[in-house]
Amino acid sequence: MSMRPGRIFQFGKFQIDALARTLRREETIVKLNSRAFDVLLYLVQNPGKVLTRYELLRNVWQDAFVDESSLPQTVSLVRRALEEKPGDNSYIVTLPGRGYQFASAVQVVDSEEVSSDEGNTFPSAATDLRNNSSGLIFQKHTVETSVITREEKAPLNSPISRSRLPIRAIATVLIAVLVVVLVVRFRSPRRHEPKPVLVERRLTANPPENPIGNYAISQDGKYLAYSDSVSEKLDLLAIDSGEIREVPLPGNYGPWDWFPDGNHLVMSADNGNLWKMSTLDSSLRKLWGGRATDEGLSPDGSHFAIVNDNGEIWLMAPDGEEPHKIVASDPHSLHEVVWSPTGQRIAYIRSRGTFQKPEVTIETCDVAGGGCVIALSNPHLRDVDGVSSMAWLPDGRIIYSIFSEGGESDLWAIRVDPGTGQPSGNTTQLTSGRSYRASSMTASADGKRLIVLKQHDESQIYIGDVTFGNNGFNPRRFTPDDWYNVVQDWTGDSKAILFHSNRSGRWAIFKQDIDAQTPEPLIEGPENYFYAKRSAQGTLLYLATASPNRNEPNDPTIRVMSTSEQGGARTTLMMGHNALKCGSSPSSSCVVSEFADHQLVFFRLDPVKGKGEEITRVAGYQAPEPRWDLSPDGSKLAIVDPDQHKGEIRVLSLSDRRVTVLAVRSWKWSDLALISWAADGKSCFVEAEGSSNALLSVDANGNSKVLYEFPGAARWISSIVPSPDGKRLAFTRRVYVQDVMLLENF
């Protein structure tokens, strides 16, 4: 008989051979895939211990990207192999919110006797683990092999013979071992350590009607503080155990950062004020009385930096003392202030230029505001929905997001010296192919855990009757599918809508009758086609681009096109990503706008000849995309600028170029984000943004009426289009689905 090294685990009528990687039920081998075997082995090696989902994922899935849905599926396979029925917890107990526990008694056998006639024999130099109770480990070396064994059992002669070891023989053996090591070292191919695989774990699961608000990870990486958009409370999540403690709040506050002591948070109020809150007794103390748009606490908690709405970065002590400005810029151009791991510098994102020609950089400055350095320049640090997010890790890497079509993003890294702010080496892509937007990232102090907000949006078209009787405005969902759909116009008879969608793999323009279930394509082909507008004379105007990304900055192929509504030849009218609108009355014209010299410039547009005379210029326009509309008779422009944070509509008369500012009354929102003239040309429909978003009707005197309000800030409107006959209103509603994700091994 010979002895097989390894460990045997026995429980119930089952037996696991860890070395042979087999599971037996009495004398029968039970089939189990490799991952399920690893999960079962880890469970039986830790009997009675509560194993969190995170611990199992970390220890079993070391060589693959995985989310938490893989674990319960694998545990289900293990249960079936162990013949557990529903409700039977003889072996594996599921502890909701905590993890799993192996409940059966486990007997460990150090080795298994195997008959030598089975052909399973081992060299005499193999490890014998049976007879040494001291636990001491010795190494036995030969030229061919190096075997670790617990005890040397050589025949002993007299003490004199044991003391007279042949020194020359020992030296010969040592030289031979050295030669073998050198040969293996320099002739054998080097074995590269496998790169750690990114692990992603979902921490929250809020519904779209109550999305995540603000959140932050504690410096020790153990806790996540987060708020939602509806409840007046703070949730404190113990990341490893899954336990949650709710802390009531006196209003709408959201966590922005943790102090190093782990007992206090930097909180933001609705008005942008900053507060210090104790997690022990929920007490609040005001730190900053202005409007802060971003904040960053130094690693040691001795200072924090804020970005205010005047485009300035201020530095102050942790209790708000000694505030002073260190970086100035244009309003709304600075974002995402973070600290270097040494606390010597701050980093921020500076956004300049227009949406069509963005200039976006990651910059660093020392804490006195000097020695500023550009670490990275990339226009894809910004998209139409906002700018990137950053985290500066202890190893010197700045992690950031790069956006692609549809608001999706991947994480990248660049190494930046914490002392000088100088970048070194190339950028490195950390994630690839994510079908969501990763934003608002924060990291633990050791840089091993990164928290990001995972966002993806759903864009659908709604239509409602504009009849303000007892029934009010009750829109219905018009597009039942899950493609990205955006309504742009109506047909002249008000019986069908025009919209663009990416359902065919590229963006194309479709027409759909209001009583139909499916659309028909109007403009499609090898390029992307979008933003369709119909002129009063029946010409279809739209934008086209050969780029795979229809919102690619500096795209030289984008152009304004025209064709007959019935089809036919397509004509290029002008180049550039321009916004265009047409009146609906028979004598009305079309107007196009473009950004030039930091101004919003308006031109007449001839649907056949192209760009005409310049109408006017609007200086100081801040929004990345122009938000304006042409009245049905073509006589007036209505303009809003959401980045001005004012409840104002500017009405420009095209006949005398006079501007009238219309202040919207009964105001509770912070921004006007979108505008469209009503069919009568006397009132407007607008989207208002704030703690909630709403669709409003505004009359000529500025009086507003809420037609449709969205709970939470993760829902908004991306287009508003009334029918020419004034009976219906179509709009595109976008919904952000948001979850907080934990990333490791990045």
Residue 355 pLDDT grade (very low, low, confident, very high; cuts 50, 70, 90): low
Among 82-86, 285-289, 666-670, 731-735, name the one with the lowest average pLDDT: 666-670
Q: Is there a single domain that holds both residue 521 and residue 618?
A: yes
Question: What is residue 120's three-state secondary structure?
Answer: coil
Question: Could you read off the pLDDT of 686-721 as tens digits, one per residue?
Answer: 998 876 788 999 999 999 999 988 765 556 899 999
pLDDT number for residue 121? 31
Nearest to 240 by CA among 64, 51, 411: 51
Residues 266 and 259: beta-carbon distance below 8 Å = yes
Which of 29-38, 218-227, 375-384, 590-599 holds the top average pLDDT? 218-227
Question: Could you read off the pLDDT of 99-122 as tens digits, one per residue?
Answer: 889 989 888 876 444 333 333 332
Whether pLDDT at 129 is above 50: no
Answer whether residue 173 is part of any domain: no
Q: Is there a single domain that holds both residue 468 and residue 421?
A: no
- Other Cβ atoms less than 10 A from the Cβ of 496: the count is 19
pLDDT number for residue 192? 52
pLDDT number for residue 137? 27
Which of 41-45, 565-569, 643-647, 674-678 holds the top average pLDDT? 674-678
Pairing mode of beta strands 579-582, 636-640: unpaired
Residue 469 pLDDT grade (very low, low, confident, very high; cuts 50, 70, 90): low
Question: Could you read off the pLDDT of 535-546 as tens digits, one per residue?
Answer: 998 899 999 999
Q: Is 137 exposed, middle or buried (0-12, 13-18, 19+ CB in 10 A)?
A: exposed
Whole-number average pLDDT of the chain: 82
Domain boundary pick from 424, 456, 488: 456
pLDDT number for residue 552? 79
pLDDT number for residue 667? 64
CATH number at residue 733: 2.120.10.30
Q: What does the alpha-carbon distance between residue 202 and residue 741 come to, in Å, rounded to a whole number? A: 5
Q: Is there a single domain that holds both residue 392 and residue 365?
A: yes
Answer whether residue 149 is part of any domain: no
Residues 331 and 320: beta-carbon distance below 8 Å = no
Q: What is the 3-state secondary structure (H, E, C) of 59-98?
A: HHCCCCCCCCCHHHHHHHHHHHHCCCCCCCCCCEEEECCC
The total number of structural domains that make up the chain? 3
Tell me the residue type at 532.
Answer: A
Answer whether residue 616 is part of any domain: yes
Answer whether residue 141 is part of any domain: no
Among 13-22, 170-179, 390-399, 606-615, name the one with the lowest average pLDDT: 170-179
Q: What does the alpha-carbon distance between residue 696 and residue 705 come to, in Å, rounded to a whole number? A: 5
Residues 18 and 136: beta-carbon distance below 8 Å = no
Residues 6+ apart with CB under 8 A from 541: 532, 533, 534, 535, 560, 561, 562, 573, 580, 582, 590, 605, 607
Q: What does the alpha-carbon distance between residue 563 and residue 534 come to, in Å, rounded to a whole number? A: 10
Question: Could you read off the pLDDT of 65-91 as tens digits, one per residue?
Answer: 555 567 887 888 898 889 887 767 789
Question: Could you read off the pLDDT of 269-284 as tens digits, one per residue?
Answer: 877 889 999 998 889 9
Q: Is there a single domain that holds both residue 426 and residue 469?
A: no
Quote the Cα angle for 664-708-520, to 5°. 115
Question: Could you read off the pLDDT of 479-528 as tens digits, one per residue?
Answer: 988 788 999 999 999 999 999 998 877 899 999 999 998 999 999 999 99
pLDDT number for residue 714? 56
Q: What does the alpha-carbon distance between residue 729 and residue 722 come to, in Å, rounded to a whole number? A: 4
pLDDT number for residue 6? 52
pLDDT number for residue 142? 29
Q: What does the alpha-carbon distance between residue 291 and residue 271 come to, in Å, rounded to a whole number? A: 6
Residues 267 and 277: beta-carbon distance below 8 Å = yes
pLDDT cut 90: percent of the chain above it:
46
Answer whether residue 713 is part of any domain: yes
Helix and strand numbers, DSSP H then E, in the chain: 5, 60
Average pLDDT rounded to a whole number, residues 140-154? 31
Q: Is there a single domain that holds both residue 13 and residue 64?
A: yes
Whether pLDDT at 656 is above 70: yes
pLDDT number for residue 112? 42
Answer whether residue 150 is part of any domain: no
Answer whether residue 143 is part of any domain: no
Domain boundary pick from 118, 143, 163: 118
Question: Could you read off the pLDDT of 177-199 as tens digits, one per residue?
Answer: 555 545 445 454 555 555 667 88
pLDDT cut 70: percent of the chain above it:
83
pLDDT number for residue 97? 64
Residues 393 and 399: beta-carbon distance below 8 Å = yes
Nearest to 635 by CA among 605, 659, 613, 655: 655
Q: What does the alpha-carbon distance between residue 622 and residue 671 come to, in Å, rounded to a whole number? A: 13
Task: Please indicate whether residue 532 or residue 647 has the higher confidence score (pLDDT).
Answer: 532
pLDDT number for residue 418? 94
Q: Is there a single domain that holds both residue 452 and residue 508?
A: no
pLDDT number for residue 160? 31
Residue 409 pLDDT grade (very low, low, confident, very high; cuts 50, 70, 90): confident
CATH number at residue 113: 1.10.10.10
pLDDT number for residue 384? 73
Stated pTM of the model: 0.62
- Other Cβ atoms less than 10 A from the Cβ of 531: the count is 22
Helix axes 34-44, 53-60, angle to 10 degrees: 120
* H or E element at residue 59: helix 53-60
Residue 237 pLDDT grade (very low, low, confident, very high; cuts 50, 70, 90): very high
Q: Is there a single domain that holds both residue 441 and residue 465?
A: no
Residues 380 and 407: beta-carbon distance below 8 Å = no
pLDDT number for residue 118? 38
Nearest to 227 by CA among 210, 243, 239, 242: 210
Q: Is there a single domain that holds both residue 447 and residue 502?
A: no
Whether pLDDT at 398 is above 50: yes
Domain that holds residue 387: 199-456
Nearest to 721 by CA among 460, 529, 462: 462
pLDDT number for residue 512? 96
Answer whether residue 191 is part of any domain: no
pLDDT number for residue 576? 87
Domain boundary pick from 415, 440, 456: 456
Q: Is there a single domain that holds both residue 652 and residue 638?
A: yes
Q: Is there a single domain that holds both residue 388 and residue 311?
A: yes
Q: Is there a single domain that holds both residue 112 and residue 45?
A: yes
Phi, psi of 445 (to 5 degrees): -65, -30
pLDDT number for residue 540? 95
Residues 323 and 330: beta-carbon distance below 8 Å = no
Q: Is there a single domain that holds both residue 415 and residue 484?
A: no
